Amino acid sequence: MKLTNKVIIVTGAGGGMGKAIALQLVERGAFVVGIDISVESLSDIQQDNFEAKVADVLDEQKISELFSEISNTHGKIDGLVNALGIAQSQTPIEEVSLEQWHRLLNVNATSLFITCKEAVKYMKPKRQGSIITIASISAVRPRPGLQSYIASKGAAESFSRAMAIELAPYSIRVNTIHPGPADTNMLGQFAEENADVTAMKDAVFKQSVPLGELIQPDDIAGAVVYLLSDGAKMVTGATLNVDGGRGL
Ligand SMILES: NC(=O)c1ccc[n+]([C@@H]2O[C@H](COP(=O)([O-])OP(=O)(O)OC[C@H]3O[C@@H](n4cnc5c(N)ncnc54)[C@H](O)[C@@H]3O)[C@@H](O)[C@H]2O)c1
């Protein structure tokens, strides 16, 4: 599936999934602008068709300026992939502060409002575009002690579906991917404080996946390539589970 000359923004491009997504998109001919809050995490992506931008996606003004600059430089924005996120370490609700709740909701859900609003400004006049949000299978198959993270991912999926119906008249497609437990830095951050993360990966996460393996970042990138491509031109408002059957 080719994405030649498509201009695609990937948030969280320095992370496990975001990086794999950015690299696969570049390989398929797209020009990718990768945004991440962490400078170091972006530094090892050196492809010609890749541009790194360091920004906190919650900084609305900076994101607005960035999207405007990208559109001015390239004449369009074809795609937006929301792949940033933060985890919650397993904690019972009575020990979670309101501040922690707000932080998870802000980073994982409010960030989507900010990036989608900006992308739509440039997609609507062209009457085309594709927006993909990485949510989580935990939104529909919860685990104990992750209530705030899971609420943020439920919001992400509902928001995507709401955007899909709102933007369909402009031929802008909006879809969600639900990864299962994935082999990235984030996975260990879901463990309880002081837990043995390596043991937990095998004993808890791997065993929760019917196909018996953790999801790899490239598995998610493959799904993103499909959803961005013309092969998915009639797919909108959909949620694609890339979870090894964890949601069953
Ligand atoms: N790893 C898993 O097991 C798993 C499972 C299901 C869903 N997910 C979701 O997949 C997505 C990608 O996760 P990952 O595993 O690649 O995580 P990761 O921690 O490897 O990467 C996340 C990236 O987001 C960036 N980021 C965080 N806050 C930001 C902000 N405010 N502005 C800009 N960048 C910011 C981080 O710097 C990091 O590079 C996330 O939305 C996550 O919730 C992950």
DSSP H helical segments within the chain, as ranges? 16-27, 39-42, 60-74, 98-105, 111-123, 147-167, 185-189, 197-200, 217-228
Confidence of residue 2 (pLDDT cuts 50, 70, 90): confident
Is there an atom of ligand 1 within 6 Å of 80 CB?
no
pLDDT beyond 90 at 192: no
**Which residues lie closer than 8 Å to 130 by C-beta, 6 or more apart?**
78, 79, 80, 172, 173, 174, 175, 227, 228, 232
Q: Which of 122, 149, 170, 226 is catalytic?
A: 149
Is there an atom of ligand 1 within 6 Å of 107 CB?
yes
Q: Are 208 and 174 in contact (CB under 8 A)?
A: no
Q: What are the structural domains, with CATH classification, of the chain?
A: 7-186+217-241 (3.40.50.720)
In angstroms, rounded to a whole number, what is the distance separating the alpha carbons of residues 168 and 104? 29
**Which residues lie closer than 8 Å to 187 by C-beta, 6 or more apart?**
181, 197, 201, 205, 214
Is there an atom of ligand 1 within 6 Å of 34 CB?
no
| Lowest-confidence region among 36-45, 151-160, 184-193, 237-246 | 184-193
Grouping H, G, I as helix, E, B as strand and the rest as coil, residue 85 is coil
Confidence of residue 204 (pLDDT cuts 50, 70, 90): confident
> Known catalytic residue: 149?
yes
Grouping H, G, I as helix, E, B as strand and the rest as coil, residue 14 is coil
Question: pLDDT by residue (tens digit) across 86-107?
Answer: 999 999 999 999 999 999 999 9
Confidence of residue 199 (pLDDT cuts 50, 70, 90): confident
Distances from the Cα of 78 to the Cα of 180, 206, 246, angstroms:
27, 36, 32
Grouping H, G, I as helix, E, B as strand and the rest as coil, residue 175 is strand
**Which residues lie closer than 8 Å to 231 by C-beta, 6 or more apart?**
1
Q: Are 32 and 26 in contact (CB under 8 A)?
A: yes
226 Cα to the center of ligand 1, angstroms: 20
Average pLDDT over residues 222-226: 98
Confidence of residue 191 (pLDDT cuts 50, 70, 90): confident
| Lowest-confidence region among 24-33, 54-63, 166-175, 186-195 | 186-195
Is there an atom of ligand 1 within 6 Å of 12 CB?
yes
Name which of 159, 170, 74, 157 is nearest 130 in CA terms: 170
Ligand 1 atom having least distance to the Cα of 13: 39
| Whether the model pTM is above 0.85 | yes
